[in-house]
Amino acid sequence: MSKVQIYDKAMCCSTGVCGPQVDPVLPKFAADLDWIKDQGHEVTRFNLAQDPAEFAKNATVQQMLADEGVECLPLVIVDDRIVSRSEYPSRENLAMWTGTAMKPKATLPMASGSGCCGGNSGCC
């Protein structure tokens, strides 16, 4: 299984899903991380305001911050490789980077033949 690490900008709490003005991307991303964790992957999330030592311990993160500043955050690292920076990735991308299969999206059933109003259906 993969090791997924997220290095977030400074936020008021560990997920940023708090306060009066929550960025709508954050709850979705938090749910996507829960999903990837439920698939068996190790997920660790660090917040610059609450976990500065974790940023300092990681040489790759230090280098990105030195080169690009906090604008590179959030950084997403999968198996020690940066896979995303400056934005929260989709569930599909997380699945791809970790080799996780996703269930196909459900589709509505389609009527067979020529449809409701075609032929001699009597509905029109």
Residue 18 maps to a domain: yes
- CB count, 10 Å around CB of 93? 15
Q: Does residue 117 form part of some domain?
A: no
Within a domain: 42 = yes
In a domain, 120, yes or no: no
Range of the domain at 27: 3-98
pLDDT digits (tens, 9 = 90+) for 66-120: 999 999 999 999 999 999 999 999 999 999 999 999 877 666 676 665 555 555 6
- Neighbour tally for 51: CB within 10 Å: 17
103, part of any domain: no
Q: What is the pLDDT of residues 11-32, one digit of tens each?
A: 876 566 665 666 788 889 999 9
Q: Where are the beta strands (DSSP E) in the chain?
A: 3-8, 42-47, 75-78, 81-85
Q: What angle do CA 9, 25, 76 make, to 5 degrees?
A: 50
Domain count along the chain: 1
Residue pLDDT, tens place only, 44-68: 999 999 999 999 999 999 999 999 9
Asked, for residue 87, whether it belongs to a domain, the answer is yes
| pTM metric for this prediction | 0.78
Strands in 81-85's sheet, in edge-to-edge order, are 42-47, 3-8, 75-78, 81-85
The answer as to whether 12 is a domain residue is: yes
CATH number for the domain spanning 79: value is 3.40.30.10
